[in-house]
Amino acid sequence: MQHLMLIVFLSASLFFLHIPCARCADLNSDKQALLSFAASLPHGRKLNWTLTTQACTSWVGVTCTPDGKRVRKLRLPAVGLFGPIPSDTLGKLDTLEVLSLRSNRLTVSLPPDVASIPSLHSLYLQHNNLSGIIPTSLSSNLTFLDLSYNSFNGEIPLKVQNITQLTALFLQNNSLSGPIPDLHLPNLRHLNLSNNNLSGPIPTSLHNFPVTSFLGNAFLCGFPLEPCPGTTPSPSPMSPTPQNAKRSFWKRLSIGVIIAIVAGGGLLLLILIIILLVCIFKRKKGTDPGIASSSSKGKSASGGRAEKSKKQEYSSGVQEAERNKLVFFEGCSYNFDLEDLLRASAEVLGKGSYGTTYKAVLEDGTTVVVKRLKEVVAGKREFEQQMEIIGRVGQHPNAVQLRAYYYSKDEKLLVYDYITPGSLCAALHGNKAAGRTPLDWVTRVKISLEAARGLAHLHAEGGGKFTHGNIKSSNILVSQELSACIAEFGLAQLMAIPHTPARLIGYRAPEVLETKRPTQKSDVYSFGVLLLEMLTGKAPLRSPGREDSIEHLPRWVQSVVREEWTSEVFDADLLRHPNTEDEMVQMLQLAMACVAPLPDQRPRMEEVVRTIEDIRSSSGTRSSPEDKPKEETIQIT
Ligand SMILES: *[C@@H]1O[C@H](CO)[C@@H](O)[C@H](O)[C@H]1NC(C)=O
Ligand SMILES: *[C@@H]1O[C@H](CO)[C@@H](O)[C@H](O)[C@H]1NC(C)=O
Ligand SMILES: *[C@@H]1O[C@H](CO)[C@@H](O)[C@H](O)[C@H]1NC(C)=O
Ligand SMILES: *[C@@H]1O[C@H](CO)[C@@H](O)[C@H](O)[C@H]1NC(C)=O
Ligand SMILES: *[C@@H]1O[C@H](CO)[C@@H](O)[C@H](O)[C@H]1NC(C)=O
Ligand SMILES: *[C@@H]1O[C@H](CO)[C@@H](O)[C@H](O)[C@H]1NC(C)=O
Ligand SMILES: *[C@@H]1O[C@H](CO)[C@@H](O)[C@H](O)[C@H]1NC(C)=O
């Protein structure tokens, strides 16, 4: 009797304990699976995963479903994972759609339970040292499979034939052998089987892929490679292969056509070129954007599309062969490659005179600023040298640090640290109605001093010749803590002779308008205009009808103060604070010295820093908390 009751009790408790959990895997079971994955795999960088924190919001690399109930993506690229992927951990994440463990040092094999997660559509494992066979139980829902640069051996599983959604298959640089299965995959766009030990004929279904998809397989044959022995009558060594014959035929034809056209007259040629250009342009716009886009499949339809089109903007000029040439500067803790950058979600921050600036959020959540330069005239060497200088001189708390760059013929990208957006320009001229609090005097002095220190550092470190070349209030970034950082330095030298846009003329020193070449003294002039802007609250722009803009700010200030040192020049917002006019007048004198028409009459940036420091020390003593109006304290925070 007692036994019977015990059995009933046990089975009842089993029922309650077991059945519900088996049916509803939840976030807790996902967390457990991830924690045991992390526990059994050494890793270089710390994964800040703990049982007590929120997996969905604070675990690095983890993205959840919109309802926050399950894990949807796990992206841990280049975190130094080391050793075999434990089975029975990640395989339990049965709502996982994206798994990226690439650029780690994973070894042994790919556990079948991971490859077969039914919901999985993107699997990135490239650049590891995984070996063994590719599991035959691959998920049928895969769209993107990248196992390249590993040590996989054995054959390409036939199962691949059944993954009808597959758009990209990257298996290059492994040790795969055997034949290539006949892949009738309607969506397959990217295929790379190069550098393996595959053999036999290339199936006809893959004939439209380029020769670079198959290179480095000694025993592979058939179009687009050499014809297989025995399929065509063995050609004599001297006779061209069909391909070569075809190519030289076209060559001969096109030369003939050109001669005919030249003979027929230049006009025809011109028309032809124009038509050709139009065609190429149209085609470029219409072609598949490449890897970046295929991987973003499965993103939410709403955000995904906009993101994608922006991403293409800075990835379009990057050649496949040139990926991974992102050059990082020493001492930089970032751990991503160009591929990550192109795959990152991008948002346009602004379009400036040198190109478009994007905010890019990478797979692992790292946020950087990417500047895509246009109209660079500098050659590769010159560009690289200038980047070295910019990277070196930018190491200052008041300068935005360049972290990496990319150079190719068509594309130049710069990667900077991300700073919460906000500039002196916005702080001074932003829309007051939209809740902007006017900057008080103490803050303005602080920002000017920090900007001056940043610029003085650039001048000192760059060794006499280095100039910022583009000082203006929108290039002084102001963080939430109201500290200032100089941006966009050193780029003017790389650009075509600056065709100063009308709206920038206000900052240009008079001699630069003629010579077109900025100097350190012209930087000082621009900085003087910046100080005037800060003092007057007026923007040095040509903007008729806007009361707060004055095209030639120095001239205007001069004309006002010639009569007497009048408070009329100062920003009305500043005059509300008592006892600061003395300092404002001192600052105004400094600014006027900076905008002296003759370069030699202008002070050097170090002197500017010292003068502002003097001004600040007087303002610092005066505005001690006791006698400072309450209002002011609020504005600083
Ligand atoms: C873990 O790191 C991420 C990214 O670095 C961060 O956003 C998150 O707050 C961290 N979580 C914890 C619990 O420290
Ligand atoms: C495979 O994907 C389809 C649509 O993309 C989805 O409906 C289906 O549930 C997925 N299969 C599994 C097993 O998750
Ligand atoms: C990769 O693993 C193989 C054994 O599977 C080993 O022989 C080889 O040295 C490893 N390569 C690297 C680069 O670690
Ligand atoms: C592919 O799918 C077909 C039909 O669904 C099935 O008969 C075949 O066994 C599958 N092949 C593999 C290798 O799974
Ligand atoms: C890929 O394999 C080729 C040929 O063996 C080799 O030249 C190349 O360096 C490899 N690439 C990488 C990234 O290992
Ligand atoms: C490559 O495959 C051929 C047979 O197709 C085999 O004889 C050879 O040993 C293989 N090479 C390597 C390095 O595995
Ligand atoms: C395939 O990979 C090889 C080796 O990395 C590379 O040289 C080749 O350009 C790639 N081909 C394609 C079509 O991506």
CB 64 within 8 A of CB 88: no
Sign of the alpha-carbon dihedral angle for 570, 571, 572, 576:
negative
Has residue 36 got a pLDDT over 70? yes
Q: Are residues 442 and 361 in the same domain?
A: no
C-alpha span between 368 and 36 (Å, rounded): 31
Averaged pLDDT for residues 33-58: 88
What one-character-per-residue DSSP string does 423-458 give?
BHHHHHHS-GGGTPPPP-HHHHHHHHHHHHHHHHHH
**Does the global pTM surpass 0.85?**
no
Which ligand 6 atom lies nearest to the CA of residue 175? 14
Has residue 592 got a pLDDT over 60? yes
Which ligand 2 atom lies nearest to the CA of residue 140? 1
Q: Are residues 350 and 468 in the same domain?
A: no
Q: Are residues 177 and 116 in the same domain?
A: yes
Q: Which residues contact 487 (CB under 8 A, 6 or more apart)?
A: 399, 400, 416, 475, 476, 477
User: Tell me, what DSSP letter sits at residue 138?
Assistant: -
Question: Domain span at residue 555?
Answer: 438-618
Q: How far is the CA of 312 from the centre of ligand 1 (A)?
A: 29
C-alpha span between 630 and 560 (Å, rounded): 32
pLDDT band for position 336 (cuts 50, 70, 90): confident
pLDDT band for position 193 (cuts 50, 70, 90): very high
Q: Are residues 177 and 324 in the same domain?
A: no
Lowest mean pLDDT among 317-326, 332-341, 423-432, 580-589: 317-326
Residues 195-240 pLDDT 10s: 999 999 999 999 989 999 999 999 999 988 988 887 654 333 333 3
Q: What integer pLDDT is reported at residue 280 of this predicted model?
A: 56
Q: What integer pLDDT is reported at residue 606 of this predicted model?
A: 94
Q: What integer pLDDT is reported at residue 324 of this predicted model?
A: 46
Percentage of the chain exceeding pLDDT 70? 73
Q: Are residues 446 and 586 in the same domain?
A: yes
Q: Does ligand 7 have an atom closer than 6 angstroms to the CB of 148?
A: no
Which backbone phi and psi does 584 adopt, to 5 degrees? Answer: -65, -40
Domain-ending residue, one of 205, 221, 237: 221
Would you state the structure tokens that stand for residue 213, as one six-digit string?
């998809």
Q: How many helices (H) and strands (E) does the chain have?
A: 19, 22
CATH code, domain with 512: 1.10.510.10
257 is a domain residue: no
Ligand nearest to the CA of 189: 7
380 carries a ligand binding annotation: yes
Rg (CA), the chain: 32
Q: Which residues contact 331 (CB under 8 A, 6 or more apart)?
A: none
**442-446 long-range Cβ contacts below 8 angstroms, 24+ apart:** 442/619, 442/623, 442/632, 442/636, 443/482, 443/635, 443/636, 444/534, 444/535, 444/574, 445/583, 445/587, 445/612, 445/615, 445/616, 445/619, 446/482, 446/483, 446/484, 446/616
Would you state the structure tokens that stand for residue 467, as one six-digit string?
């100039």
CATH code, domain with 147: 3.80.10.10
C-alpha span between 585 and 591 (Å, rounded): 10
Q: Does ligand 6 have an atom closer than 6 angstroms to the CB of 153?
A: no
Top-confidence range, 83-87, 378-382, 621-625: 83-87
CB 413 within 8 A of CB 314: yes
Residues 408-425 pLDDT 10s: 888 889 999 887 778 888
Has residue 20 got a pLDDT over 70? no
